[in-house]
Each structure stands twice: as C-alpha cells, then as structure tokens.
Structure 1
C-alpha cells in the first residue's frame, strides 16, 4: 500500500489520524522475513539431514561450525531457518550432512533440477560407456551449464570433490608434508 503524504497536514484515509510532517511517500510493507520458495526447498532438504547428523541437539552448533567452516552466526541463522549459507560452503555442508552437494545446489536454485537428474542418470549407467576422460569443462558444456556463475559453482564442486577423493586416497602424503 502506498500512501501519498503532502504538505504539513496529512490524513491517513479511514483512520482519522492527522500527521504533521514533510512531503514524502510512505510505503507500508509486511516486515516479516518469511522464507522464499527457494529457502523453503533448501530447508526442507537440510533440516532432516541436520537432525539425522545430530546437529540440532543442544550444544551441537559449534560441532557444525567445526565440520563446515561456516561462521557461528550463519550456522545459528541456518539452524533457525533464516538463511541459506554461501555456496562455497555447500561441499563441506553436504559432507557433514551426508548429502550430495548437487542436491544442495538444486535446492538453493543455483543449478536447475536437470543437473541432478543428469547426475542420477550417469550413476545408473555403466561408467565405461560414458568415458572416463571427460574434462569438467566438457561435462559443463554437455549439461548446458553455460553461465559464468553456474560454471564457477560446478567447477568448484568438482574441484572440492576430486581434491577430497585424492586426499583420502593417499593420506600418507599429507603426513609427509606436515
């Protein structure tokens, strides 16, 4: 609702209230921070996983901070359903919750649902038929990830997942460098 206030004597229609103020437009808004559809989908996926992983119990907030690297304020707001964390934390959050990072990306509407469907179809096929020498750039092109943000996000997830797999495959390497 937009109310035009002009001059020094402004009346609020139907209210019988007189206000003495400067000329301006005043917009009345619903000040609730109701979650958007995107946030609702994200929380519908994340909250059950948070519960299963034990992160909703009293005192578990610090455990989630340590597991994901997300700052305490953002974790607190996540647990209250008030914010979706930055995408750079999705790989760690997915790992801590036992979820697929692509599911988080789809729920947060960063990538369209077709990417998740493509990934599921890929896992259901014989990987030898797909070919193991595809680069992330080729996969992004084939999946239609053409915008800069989508490509950056996709490459970041691939890099994180392949780095984690390499670290797990050769744990002695990290010890030797320490």
Structure 2
C-alpha cells in the first residue's frame, strides 16, 4: 500500500483517492442527503455556504469537487451543515486515521448530528449514580428549571410567547 492510499478500518478496502477527493465525495453525498442540490449553478452550493458560515463559495466548490481540503477547524461546521459525523470528515480528510478514533468508540459522546435519547431528570440521576435524596432533588429541580427556561426562550425566539 502506498503512503497516499487510505485503508478503511470499517471495510479494510484500499481507497486510492486523495484526501481531498474522499472528503469531497463524502460531503457531496451527505449534503445531497441533507437536501442540498450541490450541482454547479443550482443554488444549493450557496445555501451550503450559508449553512457552513466559515467558508467562501469558491472554497466550498473546490472542496465538493475534491480539489482542496478545508481547514480542520472548519470540519465541525461542515458536519453540522450536512448532518454528518465530524469523525467521518476528519478521517476522510486525513486529519486522523480511522484507527485513532474507531467508529463506535466515542464512549457515548454524541456527534453534532446525533439525536439524543430523551431522558427524564430522574433517569439521568440514575445513570449518573446520584442517590442522595437532597442532591438528587436539587439536580432534578435544576434540570426541570433549565428545561422550562429553554422552552420559554425557544417560544420567544419563534415569536409565539403566550400562545399555547
């Protein structure tokens, strides 16, 4: 295997594309699945640029075409915009190897596109091993207050405060 070849830890197949080509193909696939029409001149690339927020139109086009790589610090914004896993973008771009961060070894940490399972404050306290009645009560009440305040803030942001 040449030093420029990329071996996928998931499939054990050798991919001879450059990191820019691998990332371009992956982001194009994810962007399409996320509803962006990224064909040149369609307007979907401009929408993707706005969603990413930290890249120019030409930089996004070159990335999608597999010509250049974005800066590593831009990969999180790209992952959010295309509802992808930042780990996959880091591996595809060659920033890390698939072996350095195995696919399912995130220890329960959610990626930017993960949908968390809804837990009650009581279930969270159970998972965290909080058994002291006083500490548990304080935690549950604090979480319930935070949820209520967030819901109120979301309502204000939507402009529907007071309408329920």
Higher strand share: 1
1 or 2 for the larger relative contact order (CA 8 Å, sep ≥6)? 2
Higher helix share: 1
TM-score (norm 2): 0.49
